[in-house]
Structure 1
Amino acid sequence: MDRAELAVMLGNQTTACEPARAALLAGGDFVVWDGRVPGQQLAGIYAARLRRARKRGAETLALPSTVDILTRLEAAQVRIGCIFSPDRTWAFMLFFADDAGSVLACTGVRQDAR
């Protein structure tokens, strides 16, 4: 998958898609990993991340809606990817259909200063 293909896939699945697309088109690094994970398993992982983010006061984009989407997928297999903003202040996690032909959900998390 190339940058242009990925940019087209980032529609309005969640409110994090537009900033993720902007980061991608601005030259941010991206990766789509091999392998698949059940949506239900990811829903549990990202629900826990949502609780921790709220507890810490971390800035996120579309994390609750992403958890909802992943929960509805149940046993469906999901591929995972990530886009980093060029300045590395944001990481956008992408969740793809099994064939990586469409983005199902996208969430963003502001990265801690290093």
Structure 2
Amino acid sequence: MTRDGLAVMLGEQTTACGPARDALIAGGAFIVWDGLVPADRVAHTYRTRLRITQKGGQSTLALGATVDLLFQAGEEPLRIGRIDAADLSWTFMLFLDATATAVLGCTGVARGGPPAEPATDLK
């Protein structure tokens, strides 16, 4: 899979696809893993991630819409990909068809910066 080929596949499947494409074009790292996983299994995992990110107040893009798309795909085998923005501010997860010729859905999660230094008690 080439960077340009993946960029072309990132259309308007979800609202995260445009920012993912922008991150890819701007030099973000990407990978599409070998192996297939049933969409409904991934849907359950990402539904849990949706609850966790909502509970923790973490910023996401199209996570709920992507979970819906994954459930709609049922047992369809998928390949999973990832794009990390060059500045490491966002990570995008991609869900492609079994032949990796079409993106079915995409979600983004804001990555936290390095942990803050602990506050010091000045007396």
Give your verdict on TM over 0.5.
yes
Tell me, in whole angstroms, the C-alpha distance in 2 between the residues paired with 1:7 and 1:75: 26
Deviations 1:44-83 (A, max 9, x none): 0000000000000000000000000000011100000000
Matches within 5 A, 1:1-114: 1-114=1-114
Tell me, in whole angstroms, the C-alpha distance in 2 between the residues paired with 1:2 and 1:99: 14
Aligned AA (2:58): A
User: What SS does structure 2 have at the residue aligned with 1:87?
Assistant: coil
- Alignment TM-score, normalising by the size of structure 1: 0.99
Report percent identity of matched pairs: 53
- Structure 2 unaligned spans of 5+: 115-123
Residue 113 of structure 1, CA deviation: 1.0
Tell me, in whole angstroms, the C-alpha distance in 1 between the residues paired with 2:75 and 2:95: 14
- Structure 1 unaligned spans of 5+: none
Aligned AA (1:112): G
Q: Highest CA radius of gyration, 1 or 2?
A: 2
**RMSD of equivalent CA atoms:** 0.4
Tell me, in whole angstroms, the C-alpha distance in 2 between the residues paired with 1:105 and 1:71: 11
How many residues align structurally?
114
Aligned AA (2:72): R
Tell me, in whole angstroms, the C-alpha distance in 1 between the residues paired with 2:23 and 2:39: 25
